Structures are given as C-alpha cells and as structure tokens.
Amino acid sequence: MMGRALLAAILAGVAAGLLLTVVQMWRVTPLILEAETYETGAVPDHAGWTLPGGGRLILAHAGHDEEGHEAWAPADGIERTAYTALANILTGAAYSLILLAGMMASGRPVTAATGLVWGGLGFLVFQLAPAAGLAPELPGMPAADLFARQVWWWATVAATAGGIACIALARPVAVKALGAVLIALPHIVGAPHPESHASDVPAGLAASFAANSLAASALFWIVLGGLLGWAVARQMSEMTKTAEA
Amino acid sequence: MLTQSQSVSPSVSLGVQERIKVAAAALALGLVLLGGVGFAGASVLHNAAHDTRHAVGFPCH
C-alpha cells in the first residue's frame, strides 16, 4: 500500500505541475520577465552592496558563490522554461504528498469529489493565507529579510493547517474557536515588510502578477486535489476487492 | 449502489497504523521536496527554481 500510494500521489503532482507550467507560461512568466527589466535602479542588485571603503558585501543569496564566481543559472529561453517546468513538477509532487498525508491522517472518506475539497483547502493553506501577508512578489520589488519572510510563511502555513484541522475534525466548540484564532494569529502578528514599498516595478504589473499567480495556483490545487482523490479512491477500492477475494 | 464493503473510506479499508505510516512517509517526503524547491539557499537551486518560486509565492530574494 505504502509504495503505491506514494507513487500515485507523485504522479498526480507531476500532472498538476505540468498543467501549472502551461498556465504559468501563458499568464505569469511574461510578467516576471517584464519585471526583470525594472530590476536595477533603487533596488540593490543581486551581487550585493558596495561598503564604505570600496569593499563588497556579498550575500549568501546573491548570484555569486563564496569565491565570487558567477553562480550557474539556466540560459533564458528553452533551458529556463525546462528548469521552471522541473521545479513546478517537484512542487506538484511535494504538495501532492502533503495532501495525501492530510487525507490519510484525517481518516475521512476519499473520493474524487472530496479530493476537490482537499485541493481547495491546500490552496487556502499554502497560497491564500501566506499571500494575505506576503503578496506574490515580482523580481525587483523591495522585500523584508528573506529568512524572516520564510519563517513567517512556514508559521502561517502551519497555523492555517492546524486551525482548519481543529475546526473540521474536533467536536468541542472551544477547540473549533481555538482553530479560528490559529488561522487569524499570523495576520494579527503581521508579516515582515520592508521599510518602503517604493519600486521601479509598475504597480499595475505587480497587481496583475499577484492576481494571475493566485489564479494559476487555484487551478493547480483544484486539479491536484481531484486527481489525487480519484487515484486514492481507486486504490482503496482495489484493495478492498483483493481483500474480499 | 455501493455496499459497505466497497466503501473507499481509508478508515474502513486501512488500519489506523497503516494510515499513519503512509501519512508520515508522505509528509516527510513532501516537506523535504518542498524545502529543496522552494526554500533552499544555494544559488544554483535558487536560480534553477527562480520563476517557480516567484510564480507560486515562495519568498524569494
């Protein structure tokens, strides 16, 4: 059971990741490429900052390795698209496995239809809740410290998932109320933001990117949930038939 | 019409222990993959997954 369930989840994730790639190429990536033309200017470039006295401060996240060599990056065009597709497929597999874990842990019946609900919950937990604090950002837009944002992202995902579990799975009203508090908590604390949002990237481009990025993700999650629910339900019914034979 | 034995509920078809084992393995594998694609700091991984990180809302840069 274990191996087949994991494989089914990975395959559902790969399929949803491929669909996401197509939608992104159409609606999202062109906006990223356009934003990159604004990436110089007020925003420090990726190579770091020049210190007083002429030294260079090179960040670990900059486009150079520790010895100052230019780090590898895929060439623009087919190579860059191929790596994006690969990253999307791996993201799809990762989210699919996490969704499978939720389905199994909940003990609720799984069908293609309930899979759609699971997909919707995945969208709420991994996309919408984090985006409410940290809107999907374009290259060239100022942002707070990367590590602080990553910590807030994970904390928000964990709190939202935990909150939904409390509301959906627990009976006592007090636990359901605790779930609601958990969902609200990251937004009461607030996401890390830069001192100024001033940027050379046009506001309309950023708004269009945030909307299209979330719309593409919503489609991805709904398709992923439906596919995974269908695959898991099929396996369960095959197992039951085998057990009866 | 579905009878009870054809139910696709994992709670019926699978024991609690088996369900928790699958859930733990899937969660561990999923989190490792997600960390590598969306959050690893290495420049090469960042550059390869750059457009995905922006497009799916992982904090980037």
Q: Report pLDDT for A43.
A: 43
pTM recorded for the entire structure: 0.87
Average pLDDT across chain A, whole number: 90
Task: Give the closest residue to B50 by CA, choosing from B33, B37, B32, B34.
Answer: B37
Q: Is the pLDDT of residue A168 over 90?
A: yes
Of A90, A153, A239, the CB nearest to B59: A153
> In chain A, whose CA is at the least distance from the CA of B34?
A94
Q: Is the pLDDT of residue A218 over 70?
A: yes
In one letter, which amino acid is A225?
G
> In chain A, whose CA is at the least distance from the CA of B50?
A84
The predicted-structure confidence for A100-154, as pLDDT tens digits, reads as follows 999 999 999 999 999 999 999 999 999 999 999 999 999 999 999 999 999 999 9
CA B32, B38, B41, B46 torsion: positive or negative?
A: positive
Q: Report pLDDT for B3.
A: 47
> Which residue out of B2, B54, B58, B60 would a mutagenesis test of the A interface target, given it has the greatest number of A Cβ atoms within 10 Å?
B54
Confidence band, pLDDT 50/70/90 cuts, at residue A191: very high
Q: Report pLDDT for A232.
A: 94
Of A63, A84, A137, the CB nearest to B52: A84
Of B5, B26, B56, the CB nearest to A9: B26
Contact B13 A98 (CB under 8 A): no
Distance of CA A216 to the CA centre of its chain: 11
Q: Report pLDDT for A65.
A: 47
The predicted-structure confidence for A54-101, as pLDDT tens digits, reads as follows 554 545 444 444 555 678 999 999 999 999 999 999 999 999 999 999
Contact B10 A73 (CB under 8 A): no
The predicted-structure confidence for A15-54, as pLDDT tens digits, reads as follows 999 999 999 999 999 999 999 999 865 444 444 444 555 5
Domain residue ranges of chain B, discontinuous segments joined by +: 13-55
What span, in angstroms and rounded, lies between the C-alpha atoms of A3 and A14? 16
Contact B11 A61 (CB under 8 A): no
SS3 A57: strand
What span, in angstroms and rounded, lies between the C-alpha atoms of B13 and A102? 16
What span, in angstroms and rounded, lies between the C-alpha atoms of A220 and A122? 10
Q: Is the pLDDT of residue A222 over 90?
A: yes
What span, in angstroms and rounded, lies between the C-alpha atoms of A16 and A194? 34
In one letter, which amino acid is A26?
W
Contact between A86 and B60 (Cβ < 8 Å): no
Q: Quote the ipTM score.
A: 0.85
Instruction: Find chain A residues with C-beta within 8 A of B14's C-beta.
Output: 1, 104, 236, 239
Cβ count near A9 (within 10 Å): 30
Contact B43 A62 (CB under 8 A): yes
Of B27, B55, B61, the CB nearest to A101: B27
Q: Which of residues 5-44 of B touch A (CB under 8 A)?
A: 5-14, 16, 18-27, 29-31, 33-34, 36-39, 41, 43-44
Q: Report pLDDT for B5.
A: 45
Residues of chain B with pLDDT under 50: 1-7
Of B50, B53, B57, the CB nearest to A127: B57
Question: Min CA distance, B47 vs chain A (Å)?
Answer: 5
